[in-house]
Amino acid sequence: MDNRFESVQSVRDGLKDVNYLADDGIAGVVFLAERLGKPILVEGPAGTGKTQLAKSVAELLGAKLIRLQCYEGLDESKALYEWNYKKQLLRIQADRNSDAWSDIHEDIFGSEFLLTRPLLEAITSKEPVVLLIDEVDRVEVETEALLLEILSEYQVSIPELGTITAFQIPLVFLTSNNTRELSEALKRRCLFLHVDYPQMEREKEIVLTKVPGVTEMLADQIARIVRSIRQIDLKKAPSVSETIDWARTLVLLGLDSVNAEQAKETLHVLLKYQSDIAKAAKELSDD
């Protein structure tokens, strides 16, 4: 397969074209993952653009995005595949007069009766795919074993059908909010990328890119205020997506700049706990 990226800079420039502002660290890991055929484990606080990175890479490549949203209790039937039992039952009933059970058994466990889930869909796709395994830290340790064969060999073993090997190697992103430690076996198969809250100047640039109509002065003030609020001991620090929502709110209110009183009146857009809002309001008053 041809290389999809020419250089680290081409990744960075391409992501910028789809409104994702990546630094050299992010662009470098994406470049290496594509060249080495390895998944990327993206860790960091919630709301720092981990999921959006996978979406933006898919948009950049013109690839199909397949997403597996992880949650507690996720099992093989929701992640890999399951059999279409209703269709199998109808097939059995249609052949109920047949004396050869072996023929029926072989027939009902064919690909026609297989329901593909995100992981198998990514493996069997003949078109370019970006596979997003989102919030992998939410599943139990045992469920991680479902991922290991796919992440190391890009294949799936189905007892009734044998081993299904990928037509093409998908670009795989796994995201984690660090709610629990992931297994060493999973980490060994991945390149590691930590995405933290952006520096103030980069967050200002993100606001200018993502929010139509925002002035440079307002974007600068927003980035400075958010940075100071993140330094407070909060239940949940504001994410980049919440920064963007706050910026859009201030633009909708017709503001070219924001003072402390206006900021305090709109903190509910930026923060999601009343105790955090009270702390931030006090910080703004003190400033």
Has residue 102 got a pLDDT over 70?
no
> Over pLDDT 70: what percentage of the chain?
93
CA atoms of 168 and 280, how far apart (whole Å): 49
- Whether the CB-CB separation of 123 and 150 falls below 8 Å is answered with yes
| pLDDT at residue 176, rounded to an integer | 94
Q: What is the pLDDT of residue 111?
A: 72
Name residue, tokens 């929701």: 78
pLDDT tens-digit series, residues 221-280: 999 999 999 999 999 999 999 999 999 999 999 999 999 999 999 999 999 999 999 999
pLDDT in tens, 122-145: 988 989 999 999 999 999 887 888
141-195: pLDDT as tens digits: 878 888 888 888 888 888 777 888 888 889 999 999 988 889 999 999 999 999 9
Radius of gyration of the CA atoms of the chain, in A: 24
What pLDDT, on a 0 to 100 scale, did the predictor assign at position 97? 61
| Phi-psi label, residue 114: left if phi above 0, alpha if psi -120 to 50, beta otherwise | beta
CA 233 to chain centre: 27
Q: Which tokens in the block code for residue 115?
A: 């329901």
- 287 pLDDT above the threshold of 70: no
Q: Residue 250: name the closest of 228, 265, 237 by CA.
A: 265
How many whole angstroms separate alpha carbon 237 and alpha carbon 108? 52
User: E strands, 30-142, where?
Assistant: 40-43, 64-69, 81-83, 114-116, 129-134
